[in-house]
Chains A and B, each alone.
Chain A
Amino acid sequence: DIQVTQSPSSLSASLGDRVTITCRTSQPISRFLNWYQHKPGKAPKVLINSASILQRGVPSRFSGSGSGTDFTLTISSLQPDDFATYYCQHSYGTPWTFGRGTRVEMK
Chain B
Amino acid sequence: QITLKESGPTLVKPTQTLTLTCTFSGFSLSSSGVGVGWIRQPPGRALEWLSLIYWDDDKRYSPSLKDRLTITKDTAENQVVLTMTNVDPVDTATYYCAREIYSNVDYWGQGTLVTVSS
A96 nearest CB neighbor, chain B only: B49
Which of B25-33, B75-83, B85-93, B102-110 is the contact stretch?
B102-110
- Contact indicator per residue, chain A 23-44, by CB within 8 Å of chain B (1) or not (0): 0000000001010100001111
Residue numbers in B under 8 Å from A60 (CB-CB)? none
The distance from the CB of B57 to the nearest CB of chain A, in whole angstroms, is 15
Q: List 27 A-B contacts (CB under 8 A).
A: A34-B104, A36-B108, A42-B110, A43-B96, A43-B108, A43-B109, A43-B110, A43-B111, A44-B98, A44-B108, A46-B105, A46-B108, A49-B105, A87-B47, A89-B47, A92-B103, A94-B49, A95-B49, A95-B60, A95-B62, A95-B63, A96-B37, A96-B39, A96-B52, A98-B39, A98-B48, A98-B49
